[in-house]
């Protein structure tokens, strides 16, 4: 299975990345392409810029671990994850997740799983600048809750998938 993981400053081309996963294949029936984008406001104040700090080495390793986990969990035929770092402006792309599978349920579920984990376990930190101040974005409990729902429950419900 083709897995491509990249961290980079530059923007990416989502359509190009999805096409790369499909090239020469006829077994893919579903491709899900998710793009995360820098919004123009944070806590009701207009955003001037967002800077993404990351832990080089660990970020690639951590994303790789989650891609491997997604491959074990769903019958994926291809995965691409690209995460940018550095200074971004409103409207700029932040992250790309592309998943390819024979069927849509697997492609959708894997893309959502990867995004939920990227939001909580990948070592990136956002600093946002508004007109008044520059502050570190705080991790959201709602993101932790979304990531937790992918974990096996004590009764082993997830094992029944």
Partner 1 sequence: MKLRYFAWVRERIGKAEENVDLPSGIVTVADLVDWLSGRGEEYAHAFDNPKVIRAAIDRSHVKPDTPITGAQEIAFFPPMTGG
**Contact residues for partner 1, defined by CB under 8 A:** 36, 52-55, 57-59, 61-62, 83, 94-95, 115, 118-127, 136-139
**Which positions ≥6 away from 10 have C-beta within 8 Å?**
84
CB of 54 to partner 1, least distance (A): 8
- Select from 58, 51, 41, 135 the least CA-distant residue to 85: 51
Q: Are 32 and 74 in contact (CB under 8 A)?
A: no
CB of 55 to partner 1, least distance (A): 6
CB of 112 to partner 1, least distance (A): 12
Considering beta carbons, is residue 77 or 109 the nearer one to partner 1? Answer: 109
Considering beta carbons, is residue 89 or 134 the nearer one to partner 1? Answer: 134
The one-character DSSP state at 154 is T
Considering beta carbons, is residue 18 or 95 the nearer one to partner 1? Answer: 95
CB of 23 to partner 1, least distance (A): 27
Q: Are 25 and 97 in contact (CB under 8 A)?
A: no
Considering beta carbons, is residue 102 or 147 the nearer one to partner 1? Answer: 147
Determine the Cα angle at 70 with ends 85 and 76, to 5°. Answer: 110
């Amino acid at each position: 299975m083709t897995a491509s993981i990249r961290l980079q400053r530059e923007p990416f081309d989502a359509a190009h990345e999805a096409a790369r996963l499909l090239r020469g294949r006829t077994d893919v029936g579903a491709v899900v392409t998710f793009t995360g984008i820098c919004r123009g406001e944070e806590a009701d104040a207009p955003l001037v810029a967002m800077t993404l700090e990351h832990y080089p080495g660990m970020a690639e390793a951590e994303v790789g671990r989650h891609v491997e986990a997604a491959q074990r969990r769903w019958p994926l035929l291809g995965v691409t994850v690209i995460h940018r770092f550095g200074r971004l402006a409103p409207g700029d792309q932040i992250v790309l997740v592309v998943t390819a599978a024979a069927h849509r349920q697997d492609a959708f579920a894997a893309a959502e799983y990867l995004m939920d984990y990227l939001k909580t376990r990948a070592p990136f930190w956002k600093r946002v600048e508004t007109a008044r101040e520059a502050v570190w974005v705080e991790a959201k409990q709602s993101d932790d809750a979304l990531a937790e729902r992918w974990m096996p429950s004590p009764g082993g419900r997830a094992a029944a998938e």
